[in-house]
Amino acid sequence: MHNTRIATFQQSARIFFQMLFWIPVTGFSLLLIYNTLPYFSFSKDFDFIEERSLLFSNSMYRTCFYIHIAAGAICIATALIQFSRYILKKTKAIHRVSGKLYVAVVLFLGAPTGLYMSFFAKGSFWERVLFMFMAGWWFVTTLYGLNTIHKRNVLAHKVWMIRSYAMAMTAVTFRIYHIIFYLLDWGHLENYELSLWISVLGNMLIAEWVIYRQSRNYLRSFSL
């Protein structure tokens, strides 16, 4: 009876912390997608576009921008489906279709346009290098995720897709940090640079922590 109560408590605590993580992640992800939609009015009355009016006069940059934000919205939406245990257990077909869509969008649209736009990113040389790294790492992690599932290595597939998702989510976490530092009255450029670095490095560290925890739980299940 005592062991049963402990197991029930541990399961309840795990569900609670999962909800504590996924509810804000889902909420902010949906908010980002919602805020992306007005850009497809193709109006120029947005701060981001006005700041880069010279770049937007270039058809290549303009096209890459709209492809990139559409790709980002699709990736964030499909990634939420990918990490749903309920969908994975009950309707694997949805998991496969959304996974294929996510991979195709990252490899052929999101990462390539992100790499192109990184050469014109705001900030110093190092911020542009960081954007290049993000695009490259997003591409590589997604490609490894694809290759490992083709080899039926489900565990490795999950590890690489967690890393890929961490890169996709920088679009969300960047805005969260940006709002926080704005409320703390940081300067615009300093806010932008700090939010960017914390978002990328923080997401990567969180991804590795999640991978470590899940790997430890997986190994522990064999020792019981």
pLDDT(194) > 90 = yes
pLDDT tops 80 at residue 22: no
Is the pLDDT score of 17 beyond 80?
A: no
What's the pLDDT score for residue 117?
Answer: 97
Most confident of 47-56, 71-80, 135-144: 135-144
| 142 pLDDT higher than 70 | yes
| Closest by Cα among 159, 102, 167, 105 to 136 | 167
The pLDDT of residue 3 is 52
Q: How far is residue 180 CA from its own chain's centroid?
A: 19
pTM confidence score: 0.87
Answer with the residue of higher pLDDT: 98 or 6: 98
Closest CA to 169 of 121, 119, 102: 102
Q: According to the model, what pLDDT value does residue 31 have?
A: 84
40 pLDDT band (50/70/90 cuts)? very high
Higher-pLDDT residue of 54, 215 = 54
Q: What is the mean pLDDT of residues 190-215?
A: 93
What pLDDT band is residue 153 in, cutting at 50, 70 and 90?
very high
Least confident stretch, 16-25, 128-137, 190-199 = 16-25
- 156 against 82, higher pLDDT: 156
